[in-house]
Amino acid sequence: DGGITQSPKYLFRKEGQNVTLSCEQNLNHDAMYWYRQDPGQGLRLIYYSQIVNDFQKGDIAEGYSVSREKKESFPLTVTSAQKNPTAFYLCASSRPITGGVTGELFFGEGSRLTVL
């Protein structure tokens, strides 16, 4: 089945450590996204990438970094510079918008990061 796979599902980290969250998709989508989800708040965009080797900052990029070396993969690194990293992180992808196709986001099941 096609879809988006995020790993790990749960992750614990000590303060001062960097951690990388994996996101892989086999939907052949060009665009990929990382969102952060906090209780009582909507999804907030961290980074997005429309094509391989290119990515753009979203609304809350500070303290995060990404890479897009392959179409299928869009890993997110939460650095020690992120002041409040404990959150639920969602990766998504979307199809090219042609022929009236909407920009539907396809999400993974998320990674919950807890900083101890």
Partner 1 sequence: GENVEQHPSTLSVQEGDSAVIKCTYSDSASNYFPWYKQELGKGPQLIIDIRSNVGEKKDQRIAVTLNKTAKHFSLHITETQPEDSAVYFCAASWDNYGQNFVFGPGTRLSVLP
Which residues make up the interface to partner 1 (CB under 8 A)?
4, 31, 33, 40-45, 48, 56, 58, 90, 92, 94, 97, 101-105, 107-110
31 vs 12: CA distance, rounded Å: 28
Nearer Cβ to partner 1 (53/56): 56
Q: How far is the CB of 91 from partner 1 (least distance, A)?
A: 8
User: Considering the complex, what minimum distance in angstroms separates the CB of residue 6 from partner 1?
Assistant: 8
**Closer CB to partner 1, residue 2 or residue 42?**
42
CB-based burial label for 2 (10 Å; 0-12, 13-18, 19+): exposed
Cβ distance to partner 1 smaller for residue 50 or 80: 50
Is residue 89 within 8 Å of residue 33, measured between CB atoms?
no
Q: Which is nearer to partner 1, 27 or 43 (CB)?
A: 43
- Cβ 4 to partner 1 shortest distance, Å: 7
Rounded Cα distance between 69 and 76, Å, is 12
